[in-house]
Amino acid sequence: MQLLAVALLALLLSGCGSWGWGRRSAGPVGWGSADRQDPALSGNGRVLASVVRRDGRDTVLLQEQPSGTVLPLRHLQRQQPHRSPSLSWNGRYLALLVQEGPDRRVVIEDRATGRLHRLPLPGGLVPNSLSLAPDGRRLAIASEGEGRSRVQLYDLTALLEPDLPAGLPVRGTPGAPP
Amino acid sequence: MQGAAVAVTAVLPVLLAGCLGPLPQPLVGLNQRLEAAGPARGPSLAGDWLALIVSQGGRDRVQLVDLQRQQPVPLPGLERPDAQPLSVAVDGRGERLALVRQLEGRTELVLYRRNLMALQPVPLQPPGVPRRVALRADGRELAVEVSRQGQWQVDLIAVP
């Protein structure tokens, strides 16, 4: 009986077309080009990070949702191109790839303290993309090096406070004090 | 003189560690297992779950790893040998996976529900070509990068 119910539900889901999918655009970029790439949502969905072209350089843009209000970033006005943003649960931490001279680096901006964490990678590895766990405790980095692509995990517990669903809102996010 | 050199050598790492602060620690055991699975890319991390695209036997496939057990879990009904995964994202419970894949000459966005072992197409309106997808940790919404008429846009789609 239970199997039949699961099979029926699966059948309904596969056949229901666009029914039930609420959709909206992430809204206008507001800077030069309207191209927007590399989206990432905070765990609670209140912050959207994406990469937009600003003054000819790929730059991370942080916006609260659904208003689209641009949120300030202290350290990320330079070091473009920015790639692969990833957010923690309340949007306190923004991890991404930046360019420092010839090197692509992994950094995490803590929006609560304004601190920028630089994460060194073993020599010879070039990071391509990353994913920050919503609680901020782990980071997955995809990189190229020594002739192959690989994904490696890092423990961040000694570096970052957890950003949990019950955590305090970060200044500049919806519900935070002014 | 030699004693001074030894003292500097001993103190230098401590000083450097103090300047650099705590460093991220590689999860050695997990990383060795991932390395053994084959070349990998496109990680998505949420809760105790890691979704990624692994090359095995000359083709790319989606893998979901339970980080507590340090083991991949089966994804029945997700894989097709003729499909090429481009981007994958997982929610915090490891129940929902959003996937962009190429199949039969087209690129599509699908949602996989592990408890149902069911794959559901996510239609794009207006139509476009998806590339990268992200999923909210609570699995209620996805964000997808879509090409429409030569322009990259981001759609936010609530998951029913």
Residue B17 neighbours by CB under 8 Å, 6+ apart: none
Within a domain: A169: no
Domain presence at residue A130: yes
- Other Cβ atoms less than 10 A from the Cβ of A124: the count is 9
Q: Tell me if residue A86 falls in helix, strand or coil.
A: strand
Averaged pLDDT, B51-78: 95
pLDDT band (50, 70, 90) for residue B20: low
Q: pLDDT tens-digit profile of A128-176?
A: 999 999 999 999 999 998 889 999 999 999 999 999 887 655 555 444 4
**Does A103 reside within a domain?**
yes
ipTM of the complex: 0.87
CATH number for the domain harbouring residue A147: 2.40.10
Smallest CA–CA distance, residue B119 to chain A, in Å, is 7
The DSSP code sequence of A98-131 is EEETTEEEEEEEETTT--EEEE---TT-EEEEEE
Instruction: Classify residue A44: in a domain, yes or no.
Output: no
Give how many domains chain A has, as a whole number: 1
- pLDDT tens figures, B94-149: 999 999 999 999 999 999 999 999 999 999 999 999 999 999 999 999 999 999 99
In a domain, A137, yes or no: yes
Cβ–Cβ gap A22/B117 under 8 Å: no
Q: CB B25 to CB A158 under 8 A? A: yes
Could you give the percent of chain B with pLDDT greater than 90?
A: 79
A151·B52 Cβ contact <8 A: yes
Range(s) of the domain holding residue A120: 73-155
Residue A44: closest CA among B141, B6, B49: B141
> Residue A165's pLDDT is what?
86
For an interface test with B, give the residue of A12, A18, A36, A41 to mutate (most B CBs within 10 A): A41
Q: How many CB atoms lie within 10 A of CB B17?
A: 11
| B10 touching chain A per CB within 8 A | no
Whether residue A25 has pLDDT greater than 80: no
Any domain includes A28: no
Average pLDDT value for residue range A12-36: 60
